[in-house]
Amino acid sequence: MSDHPVYVLQRWDDVTESWQDHGRFTTSRGRENADYAVDLERVYSTGPIRLLKDGIPVLADDPATHGLQNA
């Protein structure tokens, strides 16, 4: 078992209407790497994302309203 928290980046899949894992960060730099991945997802506007820390959401877009503020 790791001494570091596990961060999982997920992306919303419109086809399956579910969250899909898109990255797993488990090292001592897990948080930094996860933050960088979140920043990239935002830059490329990949759609709704969420970030879990040990299974608990620390960031979560709402798929139902994501992007509406830019319309």
Residue 35 within any structural domain of the chain = yes
Give the structural domain span for 23: 7-70
27-66 pLDDT, tens digit per residue, is 999 999 999 999 999 999 989 999 999 999 999 999 998 8
Residue 52 within any structural domain of the chain = yes
Residue 2 has pLDDT above 70, yes or no: no
Residue 2 within any structural domain of the chain = no
Residue 48 within any structural domain of the chain = yes
Residue 36 within any structural domain of the chain = yes
Contact 4, 28 (CB under 8 A): yes
Residue 49 within any structural domain of the chain = yes
Residue 1 within any structural domain of the chain = no
Cα end-to-end distance, the chain, whole Å: 45
Residue 70 has pLDDT above 60, yes or no: no
Residue 65 within any structural domain of the chain = yes
42 backbone dihedrals φ, ψ, rounded to 5°: -65, -45
Question: Structure pTM?
Answer: 0.88
